[in-house]
Each structure stands twice: as structure tokens, then as C-alpha cells.
Amino acid sequence: MIELKNINVSFGKHHVLRNLNETFESGEVIGLVAPNGTGKSTLLNVMMNYLKPQSGEVVIEGSKKYKGPKENSRIYQDISMMPDQNDLYPHLSGYDHLKMYQDMYKRKNISVDDVIKELEMGHYVKKKVSDYSLGMKQRLCFAMQMVSDTKIMLMDEVMNGLDPNNVELISKVIIKKRDEGKTIVIASHLLENLEKYSNRIFFLFGGVLELFLDKKQGYADESTYIRLKGISLEEATELFPDKYLVSLNEHGLVVRVEEKEQITKALEKLIAADMLEFSVGHLSLTDSYQLKF
């Protein structure tokens, strides 16, 4: 578990994180969504104590706080950031890296060979990292964090450079670790994938965490949306009165309806106008992202 208490971070006059108060529980995956340069990496760095906030504090596992080298060293047995590819040593093998992490985190109970097998790395793990492709390096970075076996795992763009098969492979391991009780916080632009395994998803917007989805409680926005294709904003405005919120993006047009009676009337209008290419439901994470950002 990790708690954020009144976290504020500014760079000059730019307020990146504003009074963040949130708790990420054990046994859940938290998705962080925002464009580049809006504070996702900053938030992860604050949680790792790589960056000091102007105010506020981070609490690990209910009581541990970053206070000094001795206390921080103990905390880093509980929390880890997935390594970046720039952290890899080209002259060492993937196996060398995994053994190094096993020793660094004192995880004699973790089988490096089991991690290699689970992530299907056996055919290349003993080669030098300088011979690896982008996807092979990314799998190694993920494997290193799995060997660390910390209670809290932070990941920034974990799926970067992976093909669809490996995205699916990594996703299954993330779900497994979540079900084992890990707290996993993932910043990602792979939105459909993130929606599959996250328990809660937040937009980081204007320095504030805005809840999009809590799978226990449902969508933060409970409105129903109708997605349309093959229709212009002008045509939609003629069909729907002002009480409907109409938005247009490159993937089509979105109509928001807040009452059940409005849904029936909206569908009747579409059918009468011979506009049959539409879908009804909650706004997807991708649609929400495009409308917000």
C-alpha cells in the first residue's frame, strides 16, 4: 500500500502536482493516464523519493516514511521502479542483470530461472544486452522488477516496444502479481490494454488525479454515450437539442445523454434519419482521453 498525502510539486510557476491525496491499496493495479509532460513521471519519482515535493509526504505500507538513508534503504525493499533500458549494461547478459537484482534485493527465495521461463526469455537471456532488440530489452527490464519482488511496483510505459504477443504475456504476469497482493502503479499510453487489468484508472489533469474508473464502483461518469460515425457536427446539432452534449473527434462523434428517456428518443431520431452506424454505452478510456486532452 502507498499513500499520497497533500503532495505538491512545482517547477517555477508551473504547478505540476496539486494537493494529491490518494491511497493505492495492496492487490490492485492503478492506471495513470495523461499526455507526455503532464506529471506522470514526476508523480512516480515522488513516490520513489527521487524527487522531493514542495509539501506533503508519501507513506509506504501504512507507516514507513522517507526520512534518511537508513530508513530509505529499508523502504526500497518494499518499493521499486521498473528499470529503464538506459539502465542496462550492454556488455552484460540478461541473466547477469537478473542475478544482480536478485542479490541487490536479497531475494534468494525468487527463482531467476522461473522468471526467465515465465517471460519466455530462455533463447536470448544469456546473450549480451548489446545484441538485444528493443522488445527484448523491455522484457528484461520487466523481468528485473519481477525478480526484485517488492510489495509495491511502479512502471512507466511498461509495454514500450513490445509486440502484441509480448503485451499479452506481460499483461498476464501483471494480473498474476496483482492477485498475489502487489500494489502496481502503471503509467501508460496503451489505453485499451491498461483498461483490461487496472482496478482503478486516473487521469492526471491539471495536476490533479481525476478518477475515470473504479471496477468495484463503476465509472466516475455514469452518463450513457452514443458514438456515431459518418455524421458531421452540423448534422448532429440539427438532430439533437442543446440538452445533449455533442463532441467531435477523429474517431467519430459522441453524444452524451443523462436520462433513460433521452436515450430512447436519441435512438429513434437516428433510426428515422437512417443513421444506423452507432454504439451505446459508457465512454471508453480512449474516447475520454481524446475528449479531455
| Rounded-to-integer distance, Cα 76 and Cα 192, Å | 31
- Mean pLDDT confidence for 237-251: 65
Structure-derived torsion over alpha carbons of residues 260, 261, 267, 272, reported in degrees to the nearest 10? 180
Residue that the C-alpha cell 438532430 belongs to: 239
- 250: pLDDT strictly greater than 70: no
The string of pLDDT tens digits covering residues 39-54 is 999 999 999 999 999 9
Q: What is the pTM of this model?
A: 0.89
110-161 confidence digits (pLDDT tens):
999 999 999 999 999 999 999 999 999 999 999 999 999 999 999 999 999 9
The model's confidence at residue 194, banded by pLDDT at 50, 70 and 90, is: very high
* Residue 244 pLDDT: 66
Say if residue 166's pLDDT is above 70. Answer: yes
pLDDT tens-digit map of 61-99: 999 999 999 999 999 999 999 999 999 999 999 999 999
Mean pLDDT in residue range 170-174: 98
Strands 278-281 vs 245-249: parallel, antiparallel or unpaired: unpaired
Find out whether 8 and 160 touch, Cβ atoms under 8 Å.
Answer: no
What's the pLDDT tens digit per position in 27-39?
999 999 999 888 9
**Domain ranges within the chain, ordered by starting residue:** 2-219, 224-292
Backbone angles phi and psi of 211, in degrees to 5: -70, 130
SS3 sequence of the chain? CEEEEEEEEEECCEEEEEEEEEEECCCEEEEEECCCCCCHHHHHHHHCCCCCCCEEEEEECCCEECCCHHHHHHHCCCEEECCCHHHCCCCCEHHHHHHHHHHHCCCCCCCHHHHHHHCCCCCCCCCEHHHCCHHHHHHHHHHHHHHHCCCEEEEECCCCCCCHHHHHHHHHHHHHHHHCCCEEEEECCCHHHHHHHCCEEEEEECCEEEEEEECCCEECCCCEEEEECCCCHHHHHHHCCCCCEEEEECCEEEEEECCHHHHHHHHHHHHHCCCCCEEEECCCHHHHHHHHC
The answer to whether domain 2-219 has CATH 3.40.50.300 is yes
